Protein backbone atom coordinates (compact mmCIF):
# COMPACT_ATOMS: atom_id res chain seq x y z
CA UNK A 1 0.00 0.00 0.00
CA UNK A 2 1.43 3.38 -1.03
CA UNK A 3 1.82 5.90 1.77
CA UNK A 4 3.40 8.60 -0.44
CA UNK A 5 1.67 10.60 -3.13
CA UNK A 6 3.17 10.43 -6.61
CA UNK A 7 5.66 13.28 -7.16
CA UNK A 8 4.55 16.17 -9.34
CA UNK A 9 7.36 18.27 -10.82
CA UNK A 10 6.93 21.88 -11.93
CA UNK A 11 9.56 23.56 -14.08
CA UNK A 12 9.53 27.23 -13.08
CA UNK A 13 10.42 29.06 -16.28
CA UNK A 14 9.41 32.39 -14.78
CA UNK A 15 11.21 35.06 -16.80
CA UNK A 16 14.07 32.82 -17.93
CA UNK A 17 12.73 33.11 -21.50
CA UNK A 18 14.48 36.52 -21.75
CA UNK A 19 11.32 38.09 -23.17
CA UNK A 20 11.42 35.86 -26.27
CA UNK A 21 8.39 33.66 -26.93
CA UNK A 22 10.46 31.35 -29.15
CA UNK A 23 12.79 30.66 -26.21
CA UNK A 24 9.71 30.18 -24.00
CA UNK A 25 8.36 27.51 -26.36
CA UNK A 26 11.76 25.82 -26.53
CA UNK A 27 11.84 25.71 -22.72
CA UNK A 28 8.38 24.14 -22.71
CA UNK A 29 9.31 21.55 -25.34
CA UNK A 30 12.53 20.53 -23.58
CA UNK A 31 10.75 20.35 -20.22
CA UNK A 32 8.19 17.95 -21.69
CA UNK A 33 10.28 15.78 -24.03
CA UNK A 34 13.67 15.68 -22.32
CA UNK A 35 13.01 16.52 -18.66
CA UNK A 36 9.75 14.55 -18.26
CA UNK A 37 8.17 17.03 -15.86
CA UNK A 38 4.46 17.51 -15.23
CA UNK A 39 4.06 21.27 -15.61
CA UNK A 40 5.77 24.50 -16.58
CA UNK A 41 5.13 27.82 -14.90
CA UNK A 42 5.60 31.41 -16.02
CA UNK A 43 5.07 34.76 -14.26
CA UNK A 44 2.61 37.60 -14.90
CA UNK A 45 3.03 41.12 -13.59
CA UNK A 46 1.22 44.37 -14.23
CA UNK A 47 4.30 46.38 -13.36
CA UNK A 48 2.77 49.82 -12.92
CA UNK A 49 0.25 48.34 -10.50
CA UNK A 50 2.83 46.28 -8.64
CA UNK A 51 5.61 48.88 -8.36
CA UNK A 52 5.64 52.40 -6.99
CA UNK A 53 6.64 55.14 -9.41
CA UNK A 54 9.99 55.39 -7.66
CA UNK A 55 10.61 51.62 -7.91
CA UNK A 56 9.54 51.61 -11.56
CA UNK A 57 11.90 54.43 -12.55
CA UNK A 58 14.96 53.53 -10.50
CA UNK A 59 17.90 51.57 -11.98
CA UNK A 60 17.99 47.79 -11.69
CA UNK A 61 19.80 46.89 -8.43
CA UNK A 62 22.16 44.65 -10.40
CA UNK A 63 22.65 46.39 -13.78
CA UNK A 64 24.51 43.45 -15.34
CA UNK A 65 21.22 41.49 -15.22
CA UNK A 66 19.04 44.31 -16.52
CA UNK A 67 17.15 44.29 -19.82
CA UNK A 68 16.32 48.02 -19.59
CA UNK A 69 17.59 51.39 -18.39
CA UNK A 70 15.24 51.32 -15.36
CA UNK A 71 13.84 48.50 -13.26
CA UNK A 72 10.41 49.13 -14.77
CA UNK A 73 11.77 48.95 -18.32
CA UNK A 74 13.60 45.75 -17.38
CA UNK A 75 10.39 44.18 -16.08
CA UNK A 76 8.36 45.29 -19.11
CA UNK A 77 10.94 43.77 -21.47
CA UNK A 78 10.48 40.38 -19.81
CA UNK A 79 6.69 40.57 -19.66
CA UNK A 80 4.39 38.56 -21.94
CA UNK A 81 0.91 39.96 -22.57
CA UNK A 82 -2.22 37.89 -22.03
CA UNK A 83 -2.48 36.93 -25.71
CA UNK A 84 1.05 35.53 -25.55
CA UNK A 85 0.17 33.61 -22.39
CA UNK A 86 -2.88 32.22 -24.17
CA UNK A 87 -0.61 31.02 -26.99
CA UNK A 88 1.83 29.45 -24.51
CA UNK A 89 -1.05 27.63 -22.81
CA UNK A 90 -2.27 26.32 -26.18
CA UNK A 91 1.27 25.19 -27.03
CA UNK A 92 1.50 23.34 -23.71
CA UNK A 93 -1.83 21.62 -24.35
CA UNK A 94 -0.71 20.65 -27.84
CA UNK A 95 2.38 18.80 -26.58
CA UNK A 96 0.80 17.42 -23.42
CA UNK A 97 2.21 19.39 -20.49
CA UNK A 98 0.37 21.53 -17.95
CA UNK A 99 0.65 25.33 -18.20
CA UNK A 100 0.54 27.64 -15.21
CA UNK A 101 1.61 31.10 -14.14
CA UNK A 102 2.48 32.97 -10.95
CA UNK A 103 0.45 36.17 -10.56
CA UNK A 104 1.88 39.19 -8.75
CA UNK A 105 -1.10 41.58 -8.64
CA UNK A 106 -4.87 41.68 -9.00
CA UNK A 107 -4.90 42.71 -12.67
CA UNK A 108 -2.56 39.84 -13.57
CA UNK A 109 -4.67 37.43 -11.50
CA UNK A 110 -7.81 38.44 -13.40
CA UNK A 111 -6.08 38.12 -16.77
CA UNK A 112 -4.60 34.68 -16.07
CA UNK A 113 -7.82 33.39 -14.49
CA UNK A 114 -9.60 34.29 -17.73
CA UNK A 115 -7.62 31.66 -19.67
CA UNK A 116 -8.45 28.98 -17.08
CA UNK A 117 -5.15 27.23 -16.28
CA UNK A 118 -5.28 24.12 -14.09
CA UNK A 119 -3.61 26.02 -11.26
CA UNK A 120 -2.40 29.51 -10.45
CA UNK A 121 0.60 30.23 -8.20
CA UNK A 122 0.86 33.06 -5.70
CA UNK A 123 4.54 33.79 -4.98
CA UNK A 124 5.91 34.39 -1.49
CA UNK A 125 6.18 38.13 -2.17
CA UNK A 126 2.41 38.39 -2.73
CA UNK A 127 0.90 35.90 -0.27
CA UNK A 128 -0.27 38.80 1.93
CA UNK A 129 -2.22 40.45 -0.91
CA UNK A 130 -5.59 39.63 0.61
CA UNK A 131 -7.53 41.51 -2.07
CA UNK A 132 -5.99 39.31 -4.78
CA UNK A 133 -6.38 36.13 -2.73
CA UNK A 134 -10.04 36.87 -1.96
CA UNK A 135 -10.75 37.59 -5.63
CA UNK A 136 -9.12 34.33 -6.72
CA UNK A 137 -11.01 32.33 -4.09
CA UNK A 138 -14.31 33.75 -5.32
CA UNK A 139 -13.71 33.84 -9.07
CA UNK A 140 -11.22 31.12 -10.04
CA UNK A 141 -12.09 27.43 -9.71
CA UNK A 142 -8.70 25.75 -10.15
CA UNK A 143 -6.02 24.91 -7.60
CA UNK A 144 -4.29 27.80 -5.86
CA UNK A 145 -0.62 27.21 -5.04
CA UNK A 146 0.97 29.53 -2.47
CA UNK A 147 4.63 29.81 -1.41
CA UNK A 148 5.52 30.68 2.18
CA UNK A 149 9.00 32.17 1.82
CA UNK A 150 9.70 35.29 3.93
CA UNK A 151 6.44 34.60 5.79
CA UNK A 152 5.90 34.24 9.55
CA UNK A 153 4.09 31.31 11.14
CA UNK A 154 1.28 33.68 12.12
CA UNK A 155 0.99 34.93 8.54
CA UNK A 156 0.78 31.33 7.25
CA UNK A 157 -2.02 30.69 9.76
CA UNK A 158 -3.86 33.80 8.53
CA UNK A 159 -3.37 32.66 4.94
CA UNK A 160 -4.86 29.21 5.54
CA UNK A 161 -7.71 30.77 7.55
CA UNK A 162 -8.55 33.02 4.59
CA UNK A 163 -8.87 29.95 2.36
CA UNK A 164 -10.96 28.15 4.98
CA UNK A 165 -13.28 31.13 5.32
CA UNK A 166 -13.82 31.01 1.55
CA UNK A 167 -14.29 27.20 1.56
CA UNK A 168 -11.27 26.89 -0.77
CA UNK A 169 -8.68 25.28 1.53
CA UNK A 170 -9.13 21.92 -0.21
CA UNK A 171 -7.92 23.60 -3.40
CA UNK A 172 -4.88 25.07 -1.62
CA UNK A 173 -1.35 23.79 -2.16
CA UNK A 174 1.01 25.20 0.46
CA UNK A 175 4.73 25.35 -0.35
CA UNK A 176 7.69 25.34 1.99
CA UNK A 177 10.15 27.90 0.63
CA UNK A 178 13.13 30.06 1.54
CA UNK A 179 13.32 33.21 -0.57
CA UNK A 180 16.85 33.69 -1.89
CA UNK A 181 18.71 33.22 -5.19
CA UNK A 182 20.46 30.90 -4.66
CA UNK A 183 19.80 29.65 -1.11
CA UNK A 184 22.70 28.00 0.78
CA UNK A 185 21.83 24.58 2.16
CA UNK A 186 21.87 25.72 5.79
CA UNK A 187 19.06 28.18 4.97
CA UNK A 188 16.80 25.71 3.15
CA UNK A 189 15.32 24.59 6.51
CA UNK A 190 13.63 21.47 5.18
CA UNK A 191 12.28 20.46 8.59
CA UNK A 192 9.76 23.28 8.32
CA UNK A 193 7.94 20.83 6.04
CA UNK A 194 7.29 18.79 9.18
CA UNK A 195 5.66 21.82 10.79
CA UNK A 196 3.42 22.35 7.75
CA UNK A 197 2.55 18.64 7.77
CA UNK A 198 1.64 18.65 11.46
CA UNK A 199 -0.42 21.80 11.23
CA UNK A 200 -2.05 21.71 7.78
CA UNK A 201 -1.87 18.22 6.27
CA UNK A 202 -5.60 17.67 6.76
CA UNK A 203 -6.60 21.21 5.85
CA UNK A 204 -4.99 21.63 2.41
CA UNK A 205 -4.94 19.60 -0.79
CA UNK A 206 -1.16 19.09 -1.04
CA UNK A 207 2.08 20.32 0.42
CA UNK A 208 4.83 21.45 -1.91
CA UNK A 209 8.45 22.55 -1.91
CA UNK A 210 9.77 25.47 -3.95
CA UNK A 211 13.55 25.29 -3.98
CA UNK A 212 16.12 27.91 -4.92
CA UNK A 213 19.18 25.89 -3.88
CA UNK A 214 21.84 24.19 -5.99
CA UNK A 215 21.69 20.56 -7.10
CA UNK A 216 18.81 18.11 -6.63
CA UNK A 217 19.55 16.20 -3.41
CA UNK A 218 17.48 18.57 -1.26
CA UNK A 219 14.38 18.08 -3.42
CA UNK A 220 14.48 14.31 -2.84
CA UNK A 221 14.60 14.90 0.90
CA UNK A 222 11.71 17.37 0.66
CA UNK A 223 9.64 14.74 -1.12
CA UNK A 224 10.35 12.08 1.50
CA UNK A 225 9.25 14.56 4.19
CA UNK A 226 5.86 14.83 2.49
CA UNK A 227 6.10 17.60 -0.11
CA UNK A 228 4.80 15.75 -3.16
CA UNK A 229 4.82 18.82 -5.41
CA UNK A 230 8.34 19.95 -6.27
CA UNK A 231 8.98 23.24 -8.06
CA UNK A 232 12.40 24.27 -9.37
CA UNK A 233 13.55 27.21 -11.46
CA UNK A 234 14.65 26.00 -14.88
CA UNK A 235 16.70 27.47 -17.72
CA UNK A 236 18.45 26.35 -20.89
CA UNK A 237 21.69 28.02 -19.79
CA UNK A 238 22.64 29.08 -16.25
CA UNK A 239 25.10 31.65 -17.62
CA UNK A 240 22.38 33.69 -19.36
CA UNK A 241 21.74 37.25 -18.19
CA UNK A 242 19.09 37.50 -15.48
CA UNK A 243 18.61 37.12 -11.75
CA UNK A 244 17.11 33.61 -11.70
CA UNK A 245 19.39 31.69 -14.07
CA UNK A 246 22.13 31.01 -11.51
CA UNK A 247 19.62 29.40 -9.11
CA UNK A 248 18.02 27.33 -11.89
CA UNK A 249 18.47 23.79 -13.12
CA UNK A 250 19.54 23.18 -16.69
CA UNK A 251 17.73 20.45 -18.68
CA UNK A 252 19.98 17.57 -17.59
CA UNK A 253 19.60 18.52 -13.93
CA UNK A 254 15.82 18.75 -14.25
CA UNK A 255 15.70 15.42 -16.09
CA UNK A 256 17.70 13.76 -13.29
CA UNK A 257 15.44 15.32 -10.67
CA UNK A 258 12.32 13.94 -12.34
CA UNK A 259 13.99 10.53 -12.75
CA UNK A 260 15.18 10.37 -9.14
CA UNK A 261 11.88 11.50 -7.64
CA UNK A 262 10.04 8.76 -9.50
CA UNK A 263 12.67 6.19 -8.46
CA UNK A 264 12.26 7.21 -4.81
CA UNK A 265 8.45 7.09 -5.15
CA UNK A 266 8.67 3.49 -6.40
CA UNK A 267 11.05 2.57 -3.57
CA UNK A 268 9.00 4.10 -0.73
CA UNK A 269 6.84 1.10 0.12
CA UNK A 270 6.69 -1.71 2.65
CA UNK A 271 7.50 -5.29 1.80
CA UNK A 272 4.28 -7.15 1.08
CA UNK A 273 5.81 -10.42 2.31
CA UNK A 274 8.78 -11.37 4.45
CA UNK A 275 10.81 -12.80 1.59
CA UNK A 276 10.30 -11.17 -1.77
CA UNK A 277 10.51 -13.32 -4.92
CA UNK A 278 13.72 -11.50 -5.91
CA UNK A 279 15.16 -12.48 -2.52
CA UNK A 280 14.00 -16.09 -2.61
CA UNK A 281 16.46 -16.87 -5.38
CA UNK A 282 19.32 -15.48 -3.30
CA UNK A 283 18.04 -17.10 -0.10
CA UNK A 284 17.98 -20.52 -1.74
CA UNK A 285 21.47 -19.94 -3.09
CA UNK A 286 23.25 -18.19 -0.20
CA UNK A 287 21.46 -18.53 3.13
CA UNK A 288 22.67 -21.19 5.57
CA UNK A 289 25.50 -22.33 3.37
CA UNK A 290 27.83 -24.95 4.88
CA UNK A 291 31.56 -24.38 5.26
Q: Which of 156, 168, 149, 164 is nearest to 247 (CA)?
A: 149
Our count of domains for the chain comes to 1
Domain contains 118: yes
Three-state DSSP class for 257?
helix
Q: Is 147 helix (H, G, I), strand (E, B) or coil?
A: strand
Distance set, CA 239 to CA 24, 48, 59, 243 (Å)? 17, 29, 22, 10
Please tell me the predicted confidence (pLDDT) of residue 121: 98
Structural domain including 56 reads 8-286
Tell whether 121 is covered by a domain.
Answer: yes
Whether residue 291 lies inside any domain: the answer is: no
- At residue 287, the pLDDT reads 87
Residues 96 and 32 sit within 8 Å (Cβ to Cβ):
yes
240 part of a folded domain: yes
Q: What is the pLDDT of residue 1?
A: 47
Give 213-260 pLDDT, tens digit per residue.
999 999 999 999 999 999 999 999 888 877 778 789 999 999 999 999
What CATH number corresponds to the domain at position 104? 3.20.20.70
Do the domain assignments include residue 3?
no
Residue 1 lies in a domain: no
Burial class (CB in 10 A: 0-12, 13-18, 19+), 258: buried
Q: Please write the tens of the pLDDT for every residue from 106-120.
A: 999 999 999 999 999
Examine residue 96 and state whether it is found in any structural domain, yes or no.
yes
Mean pLDDT, consecutive 10-residue stretches, the chain (291 aa), reads: 86 94 97 98 95 91 85 90 98 98 98 98 97 98 98 98 98 96 94 97 97 95 98 90 82 98 96 94 84 52
Q: What is the pLDDT of residue 291?
A: 52
Q: Minimal CA–CA distance to 249: which of 208, 217, 216, 222?
A: 216
- Judge whether 37 lies within some domain: yes
CB 128 within 8 A of CB 161: no
Amino acid sequence: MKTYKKPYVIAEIGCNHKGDIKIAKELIKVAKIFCNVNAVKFQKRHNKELLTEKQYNQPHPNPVNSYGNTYGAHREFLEFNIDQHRKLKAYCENIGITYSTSVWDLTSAKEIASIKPEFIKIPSACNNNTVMLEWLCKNYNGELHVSTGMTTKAEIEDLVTLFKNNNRNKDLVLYNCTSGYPVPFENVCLLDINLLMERYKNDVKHLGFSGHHLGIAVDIAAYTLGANIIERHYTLDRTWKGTDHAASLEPMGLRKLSRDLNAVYNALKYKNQDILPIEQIQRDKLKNQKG
